[in-house]
Amino acid sequence: MMATPVRSDALVERALAGDNAAMARLMSRAEAASPECRPAFARLYAKAGRSRVIGITGVPGSGKSTLVSMLTLKLRALGKRVGIIAVDPSSPYSGGSIMGDRIRMSELVNDEGVFIRSMATRGAHGGMARASLEAVDVLDAAGFDYVVIETVGVGQAEVEIARAAHTVVVVSAPGLGDDIQAIKAGILEIADIHVVSKCDRSDANRTISDLKAMLTMGLSLDGSSLWQPPVVPTSSAKGEGFEQLIECLDRHSQHMRNSSAGQQRLRRIAEFRMLKTAEDLLAQRFLDARQSTLTAISARLSDRQISPYQAAEQLLAGFNLQGQA
């Protein structure tokens, strides 16, 4: 006999009381995108808004996961609860995350003050899935002091993280074939804080000086208040630079609280959440309403009776925003 599924509202109560298992189940339901869960997530959203959401991004090989682990250990030493959302690429066939969060951050998994979850980018065109944002709400409402979003480091997710986080940290590292990898990846401009990892390496100073020179040529204006992104050298191997990084995180948080830029960013985050949710709803309604039409048009396209552009026009014909064909 199968057990009766736990209601989402009951899971919310348990999550708010600090039950990590309930938080994990809510995140799984967010990924499933069940309409039954919407009232539960609305309640979580209403109770969220206290956590500091830190986005950490950078190209593969820059040491993001190691940096997140060390930063979390330092924050735990200060008595802070830390939630980590690792936004991983999805398998196009299974929809599952390729990289295992508990493998990369194994030293943290037995700490009850740390919650780690991998969230696939399925359904988000390579960017941040709506479920990842709802996972942030779960941790925020549950009282975590920090929620860290780590991206895989390629594509649209880097730009989107700036729309979802209060503070964006871009990680660069020496010796990856480019002195400032952030420029090559097109993410230099989204940083509130730059970290040069692996600063115990002999070639780190060149990366640091080149990055500082680039920033000097174009100071970052955040709204009406000036914020010049600092460059923080760190070494996870030696545990160095993390006190300075936490100090910079605190300074940026204070800057956001005391400037019009802070309210502007919160409004941009809210707008991003609204548009991301609308995008998901519209896509699902479209597929539900046009499934039979999709099959017929795909057959004609496969037989080369029509072009892809003509197929798209036929698919969209007669569809409205309420999802009715």
Cα angle 112, 118, 124 (rounded to 5 degrees) comes to: 145
Q: What does the pLDDT look like over 82-95, one tens digit per residue? A: 999 988 765 443 44
Cβ atoms 59, 154 nearer than 8 A? yes
Q: What is the DSSP string of 209-267?
A: HHHHHHHHHSPPEETTEE----EEE-BTTTTBSHHHHHHHHHHHHHHHHHSHHHHHHHH
Cβ atoms 187, 57 nearer than 8 A? yes
Of residues 318 and 301, more confidence is placed in 301
Helices (H), 78-173: 101-104, 130-141, 156-164
Rg of the chain over all Cα atoms, to the nearest angstrom? 22
Q: What does the pLDDT look like over 34-67, one tens digit per residue? A: 888 999 999 999 999 999 999 998 877 888 889 9
What angle, rounded to 10 degrees, do the helices at 20-32 and 8-16 form? 140
Q: What does the pLDDT look like over 159-191, one tens digit per residue? A: 788 788 999 999 988 876 555 554 554 667 788
Q: What does the pLDDT look like over 96-151, one tens digit per residue? A: 444 444 445 667 878 889 999 988 765 554 456 788 999 999 999 999 999 999 98
> What type of residue is 144?
F
Q: Provide, for the chain, the percentages of residues in helix, strand and coil under a 3-state DSSP scheme, each rounded to the nearest 5.
A: 50, 15, 35
105, two tokens: 């951050």
Burial class (CB in 10 A: 0-12, 13-18, 19+), 305: exposed
220, two tokens: 């970052």
Q: Note the pTM of the prediction, 2 decimals.
A: 0.84
Summarize the confidence of residues 241-256 as an average pLDDT. 96
Delimit the domains of the chain by residue range: 9-258, 260-325
Q: Which CATH class is domain 9-258?
A: alpha beta
Which DSSP helix (H) or strand (E) runs through 148? strand 146-151
User: Which of 106, 113, 102 is closest to 76 using CA atoms?
Assistant: 113
Does 1 score more than 50 pLDDT?
no
151, two tokens: 């991206």
